[in-house]
Amino acid sequence: MNVFNQLSIWLSFQLSIIFLVGIPVTLFFWSIKKRNKAVKKLISIYWKISLLFFISLLLLIGKYNYALLITNISTLLITISIWFWNDINDELKEYDFSYSLTTTTKIWRWSLTFISLNFFIQSVQNLSCLSFINSAACEIWIQPSSNFYIIIKGLFNFFFGANFTQPIAKFLGLFSLLIYTLGLIQWSIIKLPKNGRNSCFSDNGRS
């Protein structure tokens, strides 16, 4: 893997911290302050879907072979979730460029889309890593999750007085993946046929 690819992968994970955590947190509290139900609903949905990305980080820490594949699935689901809802899209279109909350939300959506696309492109260039993350050529994909590992390890030791190891990370990741999958299947069977592409953000009135 050349230096450019290594830098691109590293940068993708660094940007993901900003666009997957920092900006959504800001938008969520901003939408509460502005009482904008459309943006608040969009971010609420985003948090539920983006849990899979953080599960994939646990699996990367645990060196689970299909962790990178799950990372790509998570970014795909995230991208779908922020563009999927017709009522939210229609609501955002009603605001002009001067309304900073919705403008920032639109920029954030496009930024996340490009980050997801970059993850996909980088993964295609390293197809073997999608099914076997433990090879030497795939080490660059595991390194960015090391900071997350340090944070969790410290918190785990603080709350439980125990050492957080890679096998524990793998177990927690797989267990969380099972729960997440069951929840997604339940939503697909029950709520999706009922509501379709309507997020129901305006059930209690417009934003």
Each residue's pLDDT expressed in tens, for the chain with a length of 207 residues: 566 666 677 677 777 788 888 999 999 999 999 999 999 999 999 999 999 999 998 898 888 999 999 999 999 999 999 999 999 999 999 988 888 999 999 999 999 999 888 888 888 887 888 888 888 878 878 776 666 677 777 777 766 666 778 888 899 999 999 999 999 999 999 999 999 999 988 765 443
From 132, 149, 131, 133, select the one nearest 141 (Cα to Cα).
Answer: 133
Q: Which two tokens stand for residue 34?
A: 């502005």
**56, 67 in Cβ contact below 8 A?**
yes
Sequence ranges of the domains in the chain? 3-195
| DSSP notation for 8-52 | HHHHHHHHHHIIIIIHHHHHHHHHHHHT-HHHHHHHHHHHHHHHH
The sign of the torsion formed by the CA atoms of 90, 205, 48, 187 equals: negative
The sign of the torsion formed by the CA atoms of 8, 149, 169, 177 equals: negative
